[in-house]
């Protein structure tokens, strides 16, 4: 709808509607057309964000079990994630969301203690329905789980880096999260751990490449 209206008479249009013959309406033309909107609508976005919040639990539990053990502190992080999303859900959706999230925790725990948590389908689905912000939020949860006990485990860091690559999270965003959580953690004291991996150093690098990385980290910290 296109309208020409006298200056100062704009209030004759309310919520896009204007009475035919209204004082101040000079001319009005109408043209009908069809438009296919192929982005997400708000209802679809709401459904996908709910699913992403459940899928995130599986990835977070996989990080928690990277050292073959589920720490209590890491479990508390997942618990708070669940509570936060349940509290923000509509009253009629809370119980269903709570049940779905608890089932995700239970399945991930059972898989982690037996065959291992399979994350391929989870990541594929996240790439299918998740946008940049929701995938970043998932990765942030995984970082919170990793740093919950105050340690940085190289196996968990390697896993998080792999997740970031598969979720197409930019390297600078991954590094920002890494630096943020490194402030409140210390290197794991297990002799089997490799400090170079904690710094993101590839064993295949030459000595000059490793030294360049170390100089960069030294300047940063």
- Whole-number Å distance between alpha carbons of 5 and 28: 9
3-state percent breakdown (helix, strand, coil) of the chain, nearest 5: 60, 5, 30
Q: How far apart are alpha carbons 126 and 55 in whole angstroms?
A: 7
One digit per residue, the tens of pLDDT, for the chain of length 221 reads: 999 999 999 889 988 889 888 999 999 999 999 988 887 788 888 899 999 999 999 999 998 887 677 888 889 999 999 999 999 888 899 999 999 999 999 999 999 888 888 899 999 999 999 999 999 999 999 999 988 877 777 777 888 899 999 999 998 888 888 888 776 655 554 544 456 666 667 778 898 888 888 887 777 66
3-state secondary structure of 40: coil
Predicted model pTM: 0.67
Using alpha carbons, select from 209, 123, 191, 135 the residue that is nearest to residue 199: 209
């Amino acid at each position: 709808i296109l309208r020409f209206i006298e200056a100062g008479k704009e209030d004759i249009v309310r919520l896009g509607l204007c009475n035919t013959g209204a004082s101040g309406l000079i001319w009005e033309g109408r043209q009908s057309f069809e438009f296919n909107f192929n982005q997400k609508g708000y209802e679809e976005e709401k459904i996908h964000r709910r699913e992403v919040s459940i899928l995130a639990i599986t990835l977070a539990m996989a990080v928690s079990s990277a050292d073959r053990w589920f720490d209590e502190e890491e479990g508390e992080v997942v618990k708070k994630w669940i509570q936060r999303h349940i509290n923000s859900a509509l009253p009629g959706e809370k119980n269903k969301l709570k049940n779905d999230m608890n089932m995700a925790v239970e399945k991930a725990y059972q898989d982690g203690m037996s065959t291992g948590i399979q994350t391929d389908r989870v990541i594929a689905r996240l790439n299918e329905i998740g946008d940049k912000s929701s995938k970043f939020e998932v990765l942030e949860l995984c970082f919170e789980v990793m740093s919950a006990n105050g340690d940085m485990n190289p196996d968990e860091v390697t896993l998080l880096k792999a997740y970031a690559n598969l979720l197409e999270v930019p390297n600078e965003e991954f590094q920002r999260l890494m630096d943020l959580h490194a402030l409140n953690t210390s290197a794991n004291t297990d002799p089997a751990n490799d400090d170079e991996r904690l710094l993101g150093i590839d064993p295949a690098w030459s000595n000059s490449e490793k030294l360049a990385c170390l100089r960069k980290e030294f300047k940063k910290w």
